[in-house]
Structure 1
Amino acid sequence: MACLGTDQRVNLAGLPRTPTIINVWAQWCAPCRQESPFLRAAVAELDGVSFLGINYNDPRPDWALEFAGLAEWGYPHVQDQDKVLQTELGIPGIPTTFFVDADGRVAGVHPGVFESEEQLFEAAETYLGVTR
């Protein structure tokens, strides 16, 4: 996958083996924008958890890069403009958040928008066993 805003390629299977929260989003998605502060809070409060954003099916990667900056997401993002991961991950729509354990297994999936920080933190505890 290409990093958002660059031509640099990333092998998702080669990422470090740490508990990871992967959020699938697009800049045109209102629910994705709604939950963006909750993701920013989780990055600040969940020690030992990695984060990855997947900008998905987004026709304007330049706008997506701008939105990620405005949302103050301080974690890496890759782009999947062609929905390559839809079949592999079973993405039902966006936003979707995957919780991947330290062994690289998907421990849980949250399809749809997070309605609060607390809901996101509860999912991280349930699926990854991490607390703030």
Structure 2
Amino acid sequence: MPDCPATDAAAAPVAGGLPQTALPCLGGDTTVNLAGLPRTPTIINLWAQWCGPCREEAPFLREGLAELDGVSFVGVNYNDPKPDWAVEFAGLVGWVYPHVMDQDKTLQVPLRVPGLPTTYFVDADGRITGVHAGPLESIEQLRELATTYLGVP
């Protein structure tokens, strides 16, 4: 699993964007401010290793990273009491994008998290342009959502 991106801890959220955070990198030493992520189209997926539907959608996220040029992926290991198991799971399913931890559900209120899994689509201006609650059911569905919410082919 790659290191998390360097972010400006003081970066403020844009209107309709990701909140300012101080989330630890899963399996790393850095702290990530989601509001300070690089301004590229980004897919943020909230998951936990104990979540069955999260496990089912894992291959589609892995394939999406390979197929969606110009789109960044960030995972959020959410409300997961076993980060070591989460690191192992991410490795087993072949996720080669960075993940942060939100064990205390700090994102629940600002992102109105409906449950797991949930996928957020963030445009190049840092605004959340779409939310998909529930598991992704195919790579085609992920491609369609990325086209609809991020304008990527």
TM-score of Structure 1 vs Structure 2, range by shorter chain: over 0.9
Residue in structure 2 matching 1:54, options 48, 69, 76: 76
Q: 1:50 and 1:7 mapped to 2: Cα distance?
A: 20
Q: 2:34 and 2:93 mapped to 1: Cα distance?
A: 23
1:55 Cα deviation from its structure 2 partner: 0.2
Residue in structure 2 matching 1:38, options 47, 60, 64: 60
Q: 1:55 and 1:34 mapped to 2: Cα distance?
A: 15
What is the SS of the residue equivalent to 1:68? Answer: helix
Q: TM-score, normalised by structure 2?
A: 0.84
Give unpaired runs (5+ residues) of structure 2. Answer: 1-22
1:86 Cα deviation from its structure 2 partner: 0.4
1:10 Cα deviation from its structure 2 partner: 1.1
Give unpaired runs (5+ residues) of structure 1. Answer: none
* Structure 1 residue ranges, 4+ long, deviating more than 4 angstroms after superposition: none
1:68 equivalent to 2:98? Answer: no
Q: Which residue of 1 aligns with 2:148?
A: 126
Aligned residue runs from structure 1 range 76-91, under 5 A: 76-91=98-113
1:6 Cα deviation from its structure 2 partner: 2.8
1:22 equivalent to 2:25? Answer: no
Aligned Cα RMSD in Å?
Answer: 0.7
Report the AA paired with residue 83 of structure 1.
K
Q: 2:132 and 2:39 mapped to 1: Cα distance?
A: 21
Higher relative contact order (CA 8 A, sep 6+): 1
Q: TM-score, normalised by structure 1?
A: 0.97
Residue in structure 2 matching 1:10, options 32, 38, 55: 32
Q: 1:6 and 1:31 mapped to 2: Cα distance?
A: 26
Q: 1:7 and 1:51 mapped to 2: Cα distance?
A: 19
Q: Percent identity?
A: 72
